[in-house]
Structure 1
C-alpha cells in the first residue's frame, strides 16, 4: 500500500522545513493554497518511491495464485502444466482493465488453483460440477444418464435408484420430465451428447452436465404491485405489475440438501408446495420450508394482516401454492395464494391488506445491467454534499433533497462564497418514489441522483398535471453542468433533457451539459402489462429537446432515444451508448432518431450494445460489437465506421469492417463460385442462384433471442441456435451485443475442453444449458 506523499519531507530536519516554509512570500501567492517548493519537489520524488515500493511488494504477492495479478495467472499455471484452452485475439494492452477482465474468464484463477486437486479426483462424477463452476463460473450439476436407461434388472440385485417408468400420479416427478432433475427411465439414444449437430442425452457412455447461465439477484423488502384491474386483493411480486418467475436462492451443496436447491433454478409450483398429511389423508397444502421464510428464496409481509398489529412475515402455514394463471378463485380467510411461476399473490376477497404488501424474492438476468441489488462502483466529485433520502432519514422524498440543495446554494450566495455546489442525492432504501421531478443544474455544477450500493429504488412518474407534461425533466443553464442517474428504475414517463436553449435561444458556441445514465432502467414503453407487453410502446424514454447535451448511457436498459429540434443546428449533440440495451419495443419503430426529420441531428457512438429498432442519425462515429436489430440509416456515410456488428440488409451505413451478414454472404458466394469452377464440366452461377443464396445466408445469420420483451429473465439473450457468426462474431471472438463482456463462447469452450480432460474413461460429457 502506498504511503504518504509527504513521507520524505517529514524526514527532513525541522530547520530545513522551517526555512522552506519561509520561501512562501506574502503577497506573491495565496498562503492558504501555496506549498513550499522543497516540499513540492519531495512530493514528486516520494510519488515515484511509492510506486517502486508497491511494485516490489507486488512481486512477492505474485508468487501465489491467490494474490497475484491477473496477467501472472497463466505463468503460474504453466509451472504445473496448466494449458489455457481458448486462444483469443487480443485487441488491447494486456494490462488494461478490459483485457484483465477477459483474462479472468479465459484463464480462471480458481481453475489454476484447483488443478492439482482436480487431477487427484480425475474420473469421478462428483468432480464435474465443481470443475464447471471453477472453469466457467456457472453453477452446474452432473447427471449420469446411463443410470436412467431402461433395463431389465436381476431380481437378486435390484437397484431402486435406477430409472423407472413414470408414475402418472406423481405430479412432482412429472414436472421434472426432460429437465435436469428428471429421474424417469429412457430407452437408449444413440446420438452423442457432444455432437455439433443433433444431440442426444441418454446414451450408454453419456454424462450430462447442466449449467445455469442466468445469475440471480435479490429483491429485498420491496413493495408489491396491486393489480387494480383485477381487484384490490391481487398483487404481483414485481413492482411494475408484470409477471416474473421466481428463482431459487442457491444453497451450498451438502448432506440433506436437495440438488434443486443448489442451483439458481426457477421455482415450480410443485416444488413450492408442501403437503401436510393426517391419518393418511391430505389435510392442507402450504409453502415449502425449503423456499419460503426469512433468509430463504421468498418472503411476504402484509402489515396489520390478518389482524391489526401483525408486523412479521406471513407464516408459511398461511401460504397456499396455486396456479394463478387466471388469477383463480380467492383463497379462504386468513390464507394467501402464491404462484411462483408467474410471481402473483392473491388475498381473500374480503380480507385484503390495506397497508400494502412487501416482498423479498429472487429474479434472474444474464448480466449486471439495468440496476439491481448488485455491487457497483460509486464515486462523486471532490467536495460534493451528500443528501440521503429514505423512509428512515430526515429527507423523505427526492424533492425535499432538491430543496435542501437549493437552500444550501442560496446560503452560500448570501455569504458571498463560491456558490458552485455539487450534490449527491442518494436513495438508501428500495422504496417507490411517486413524485414529479424537475431538475435544474447551473453552470459548473454536478448532480448525482443515485441509489446506494446494493439498493434498487423505483421512481414512478404519474399523470399529475393535465395542462403540461409530467415527464422527468432536466435543464442545464450553463457551461459544464452535469447530471448522473445511477442505479435507478424510472417508470410511468420518460426523461426530457433541455439545455440553456430551452426556449429556443442559444449561443452558437455554447458548451452544454452532460447527462449520464448508468446502471439504470428507463422502462421501454413506460409501463408493462402482465405479459410484459409495453403499455405505451410508441413513447420515448429520453427526449433531447433543442439541446446539444451529450447523453451517455452505460450498463443500462432504455427505450427510444428521440431528438427534438426546431431547426438543424451547426454542431450536433452526442449520444454514447456502451454495454446497454436500447429497445423501441419493435424492430419497426425508431430506437434512435428524430421526432421531426428523417434523421436525428446527432453523433451516435455505440459499443457492445443491442439496439432493438430502427436507427436514423446524422453520423455514426463508431459502432463496435453491436447488434442493430432494425434498419439503420445514416445521413453522412463518409464519417465514422462500423466494425464487428450485425446490420440488417438494406441499411445505409458508414464504412463497414467485418460486419454481418456481409462477411457471411461474401464467404457463401465465394464458396458457391469455387464449387461451380471445380465442377466437371464447370458451370456458370446465375443471378437467381446468387440472390437465393444471399437471402438464405442473411436469414441464417440473423440474430435469434430467447426473449425480446423487457421483464423476461431471458431478455436479449442470444439463443443457442443462433449462428456462430453472431455468437462469436465480436473482435475478440465473444458474442455481439450487450452481453459481450460475459465471454460466453470462451467459457463454453473452456468447459467442454476441461470436461474431455477429466471425464471418466470411455465416457463423454455433454454440456446442456438449463437457462
Structure 2
C-alpha cells in the first residue's frame, strides 16, 4: 500500500496538497514577475513553497473544524466530544469499524430519548449500534390469552392458523405467527444447563440478521438496451444430469450449483413505522412471493387493486429481483413484470425432462349475480418461472424466437463482503483514476461486447469483445508496463475457440490487472478546463465477471534474466481453478475473488516458482495446493479475511510445503500442511501440520487436537485445557480433556461453498471461539464483523432504554442452509 509523502511532521497533510497551494499562490503573481523569477534562480517560487506549507496547514485545520460540526464527518476526537455533549453512552470500539455504530448512535441519541421505552426506539437503536437488520419483539403480544372477552385477539387465535401456510417458515423468528403459552423462565437468564425463556409479559427480544447483503441494481425502463445491462448478472444454462435443456437457466456461476437470493435492504422505506418482513435483508422464501405474484395476476384479471396484507415485496422500485429476457435476434431486453413471474420449486428439474413452464395461467373468481354469484375465469400470460431459493429459472415456450439470454438483477449475501459480488471493492491502494503521466503509460483494455470495438490502449482505452482478446493484447504490448484489463459487464468469459484453457500471459517486469469494474471516461463540465492527463476511472462495485474455463498463468516472451511480472485478479469468479506455470509471476494477488474447481484443486502450480509472493484477500477459495514433490515452489503466501475450503476434493484444503504462510482472519475448512506459519484469528477446522516450528507463532486461533504448529498464544482449546487443569489442581484424564475440547470447538452454520452462510459461526458456538480473537472479536474469516462486540454494546444499552421491570435478549435469526431448506417447503 502506498503512503503519501508528508511534510511538517503532519501525517495527514500530503506533499501534493502543499504543492497545489504553492502553485496557486505563485500563479497570483504577474506573468512578467514570474518570468523574471524563473529566469533567475526561482527564489519567489521557493518562497511560495514555504508560504504554501503554512497555507495548506491552515486550510486543513479549517476543514477539520468544519467536519467536526457534523456527526457524519467528525473525526474520532470530535465524535467523542459530540457524544459527551449529548451524553451518549460509551461503546466498545469495533476493530476497523471507524466508529460506524457509535456515529449513528450519537446522531440519533436525542431522538431515541424522546421515544424511550418503546419497541420502535429499541429496534432503531439496535440497527444503528450493530449495523445489522434488527427487529424488536414484545413477546407479551404473542401470548394466546383468552381469560375474558376484553382480551380477544383475532390475529392470534388459540390454535395455529393452517392457512396461508407461513406459520412453519416463520416459527421462532421475529415474525412468528404461532400462539404461545406463558414461559416463566427469564428471557436473559441463560446459563449452562438452564436455557433462557422467551414468551413472557416482561420479555423483549431483539432479533438480528447477520449476513451482509449486496445488490446488483436493475436499470429503469420496460425495454432496456443491451449496453445498459452491464451491471445485471447473466444467467448461464442450467445443467442437470450433464445436459442443459433449452429455456433452463441458473444464476449460480458454478455449473449445476445453486444461488440463494436475498431481499435487498429496504429499511429506509419503513422510516417512521415498524419494520416488516419485506423490509429486511433476509433470505427470500417461495411462499410469500408466490402469494403476492398470484394476487397481482388475480387483481389484473378482476380489474381491481391488489389486496396485500402488508408492504409489498414487488413495489416497482426496490424489488427482490427483476428478470430481463432477450429473445434470439433481438438487441434489447424486456423487463418481466412481477405478475408474469411464477414462483416455483426448482430443487430438481421439471418432469418430464426438458419441460417448460406454461405460457398462460388460468384464474377463476366470482362476481355478484342476480340470484347467485356468477363464476368468471381468465388467463394471464407467464414469461418465466423463478425459484428464489435456488436461483434457477425456466422460461415459458411461446411461438416465435426462443429466449437467448436471461439476466436477473438480484441481491446475494455472505458473512462479510468476501468473494466476487456487487459489494464496493474500492480502496486507496488500488488504481482508481488512470492518467497518462511519466515515460511509460499504462495500457487499458475494456472488455465490453455491447460496445463498438476500437480505440487505443496508449491514449485512452481499447474496447474489445472478449477477455481473450484483451489478454492477447497484453501479451504482445505489455512488456515492462502496467496493463489494466477492465471487465465492464457481468458476463461469462470462456476460453478462446480451439482451446480448453484461458491463458493469462504475463510479460516479464510488468504488471497485469484483470478487474471486474465499471470503466468511466472523464466528463468535461461546462466552464471547467479538461485534464489532459486523465484517461478514465476504474470503479470497483456492482460488477462480477466469471471465467468459465480453467485458467493458466504463463510467463511471456522476453529477457530470460528479467524478473517475472505481477498479476492481480480482482472481482472475478473462476469456475475451473487457476494454475501457475513455471516462473510465471513473481507476485500474484487474488482480491475479492471466488476461485473454485469443485472436487479439484482451485489454485495450484504446474512449474517451479522461486521467491514468489501470493496474496489472497477477501476471497473464497477451494483447495490451495501450491507445490508438491515434483514442483519446487518457494516464497510466501499471505491470506487475509478469507475462507479456504476443501470444496469436495480429497486431501488438504491448504498445502504449501515450500511457502512461508501468514494467515489473519482466515477460516480453513480442511486439513493444512505448510512450511512455516504465522497466524492470527484463524480457525483450522482440521489438523494443521507445520514443518518448521522453530519460527512463527499462532495467536488467538483455534488449533485442533493432533496438530503440529509453532508456539501458541491464547489459542483454543489449549487455553481452555490449561484453565481446566488449573481449576482441577491436577492433570486431566483423556476423557476429561476430550470433554473440554468438544466444549470449545467452533460450530459453523454451513461448510458448503454454495451457501451464503459459509464458515459463519453458529449462534451456539462457544464464547471461547466467538470472542476469543484478538481484541475480543470472533476467530475466523469474519473477525472484522465483530458481532460479539456489537451485541455486547447493544446489551449495555438495555438498562437505559427499556422500561422498568422489562428484560431483553439479543437473538440471532441467521439461518443455516439446512434450516432454511426445511422452512422453504412448499
- Scaled by the length of structure 1, the TM-score of the pair is 0.81
Distance 1:156 1:593 in 2: 69
Q: Where does residue 83 of structure 1 map in the other structure?
A: 89
Distance 1:41 1:753 in 2: 56
Q: Where does residue 727 of structure 1 map in the other structure?
A: 770
Distance 1:559 1:37 in 2: 62
Q: Where does residue 333 of structure 1 map in the other structure?
A: 359
Q: How far does the alpha carbon of each residue in 1:376-412 deviate from its partner, in whole angstroms, 9 at most, with x for none?
A: 2153386422211112232111122233345555xxx
Alignment of 1:226 with 2:237, yes or no, is: yes
SS across alignment from 1:424: strand
Alignment of 1:120-519 (within 5 A): 120-155=114-149, 158-162=152-156, 164-197=158-191, 198-219=195-216, 221-229=232-240, 231-240=245-254, 241-251=256-266, 252-253=269-270, 259-274=276-291, 275-276=294-295, 290-291=313-314, 295-304=318-327, 311-329=333-351, 330=355, 331-334=357-360, 335=382, 336-348=384-396, 353-377=402-426, 379-380=430-431, 383-393=441-451, 394=453, 395-406=464-475, 408=477, 420-435=480-495, 436-452=501-517, 453-462=540-549, 470-475=550-555, 478-479=562-563, 481-499=565-583, 513-519=586-592
Q: Where does residue 509 of structure 1 map in the other structure?
A: none
1:222–1:431 Cα contact (<8 Å) kept: yes
Deviation at 1:255, TM superposition (A): 8.2
1:273–1:287 Cα contact (<8 Å) kept: no
Specify whether residues 44 and 632 from structure 1 end up closer, same or farther in structure 2 by C-alpha distance, changes over 3 A only. farther
1:542–1:559 Cα contact (<8 Å) kept: no
Deviation at 1:282, TM superposition (A): 12
1:428–1:455 Cα contact (<8 Å) kept: no
Alignment of 1:737 with 2:780, yes or no, is: yes
Distance 1:406 1:617 in 2: 33
Specify whether residues 587 and 751 from structure 1 end up closer, same or farther in structure 2 by C-alpha distance, changes over 3 A only. farther
Moved more, 124-133 or 225-234: 225-234
Deviation at 1:238, TM superposition (A): 2.0
Specify whether residues 602 and 37 from structure 1 end up closer, same or farther in structure 2 by C-alpha distance, changes over 3 A only. farther
1:458–1:491 Cα contact (<8 Å) kept: no
Deviation at 1:294, TM superposition (A): 6.7
Distance 1:178 1:125 in 2: 18
Q: Where does residue 73 of structure 1 map in the other structure?
A: 79
SS across alignment from 1:388: strand
Q: How far does the alpha carbon of each residue in 1:91-138 deviate from its partner, in whole angstroms, 9 at most, with x for none?
A: xxxxxxxx5x34415x61010111121112111121111111111111
Distance 1:519 1:445 in 2: 22
Distance 1:131 1:193 in 2: 20
Distance 1:568 1:186 in 2: 64
Moved more, 108-117 or 294-303: 294-303
Alignment of 1:550 with 2:593, yes or no, is: no
Distance 2:274 2:249 in 1: 31
2:37–2:44 Cα contact (<8 Å) kept: yes
Distance 1:326 1:50 in 2: 65
Distance 2:802 2:29 in 1: 65
Deviation at 1:713, TM superposition (A): 1.3
1:9–1:42 Cα contact (<8 Å) kept: yes
Distance 1:439 1:233 in 2: 33
2:130–2:790 Cα contact (<8 Å) kept: yes
Deviation at 1:156, TM superposition (A): 5.2
Specify whether residues 544 and 200 from structure 1 end up closer, same or farther in structure 2 by C-alpha distance, changes over 3 A only. farther
2:167–2:177 Cα contact (<8 Å) kept: yes
Distance 2:307 2:466 in 1: 36
Alignment of 1:92-107 (within 5 A): 101-105=96-100
1:482–1:514 Cα contact (<8 Å) kept: yes
Deviation at 1:23, TM superposition (A): 6.4
Distance 1:670 1:225 in 2: 58
Deviation at 1:741, TM superposition (A): 0.8
Distance 2:109 2:753 in 1: 40
What is the aligned counterpart of 1:607 among 655, 664, 673?
Answer: 664
Q: Where does residue 506 of structure 1 map in the other structure?
A: none
Deviation at 1:717, TM superposition (A): 0.2
Distance 1:135 1:255 in 2: 18
Specify whether residues 388 and 232 from structure 1 end up closer, same or farther in structure 2 by C-alpha distance, changes over 3 A only. same
Moved more, 118-127 or 288-297: 288-297
Deviation at 1:449, TM superposition (A): 0.5
SS across alignment from 2:776: coil
Specify whether residues 38 and 623 from structure 1 end up closer, same or farther in structure 2 by C-alpha distance, changes over 3 A only. farther
- Scaled by the length of structure 2, the TM-score of the pair is 0.76
2:146–2:152 Cα contact (<8 Å) kept: no
Q: How far does the alpha carbon of each residue in 1:63-105 deviate from its partner, in whole angstroms, 9 at most, with x for none?
A: 43232113432232123322314378xxxxxxxxxx5x34415
SS across alignment from 1:696: helix
Deviation at 1:566, TM superposition (A): 6.8
- Structure 2: give runs of 5+ residues left out of the alignment: 1-12, 217-230, 361-381, 436-440, 454-463, 496-500, 518-539, 815-826
Deviation at 1:731, TM superposition (A): 1.5
2:261–2:391 Cα contact (<8 Å) kept: yes
Distance 1:578 1:763 in 2: 42
Distance 1:376 1:75 in 2: 32
1:472–1:494 Cα contact (<8 Å) kept: yes
Deviation at 1:149, TM superposition (A): 0.8
Distance 2:59 2:73 in 1: 17
Q: How far does the alpha carbon of each residue in 1:332-372 deviate from its partner, in whole angstroms, 9 at most, with x for none?
A: 23543322223222345788944132222222211111121
Q: How far does the alpha carbon of each residue in 1:538-567 deviate from its partner, in whole angstroms, 9 at most, with x for none?
A: 323243731122111111111222223677
RMSD: 3.3
Specify whether residues 23 and 482 from structure 1 end up closer, same or farther in structure 2 by C-alpha distance, changes over 3 A only. farther
1:149–1:188 Cα contact (<8 Å) kept: yes
Deviation at 1:295, TM superposition (A): 4.3
Q: Where does residue 27 of structure 1 map in the other structure?
A: none
1:729–1:735 Cα contact (<8 Å) kept: yes
SS across alignment from 1:131: helix
Distance 2:615 2:50 in 1: 35
Specify whether residues 406 and 691 from structure 1 end up closer, same or farther in structure 2 by C-alpha distance, changes over 3 A only. closer
Distance 2:342 2:649 in 1: 41
Distance 2:548 2:98 in 1: 42
Specify whether residues 20 and 377 from structure 1 end up closer, same or farther in structure 2 by C-alpha distance, changes over 3 A only. same
Deviation at 1:293, TM superposition (A): 6.1
Deviation at 1:714, TM superposition (A): 0.7
Specify whether residues 443 and 211 from structure 1 end up closer, same or farther in structure 2 by C-alpha distance, changes over 3 A only. same
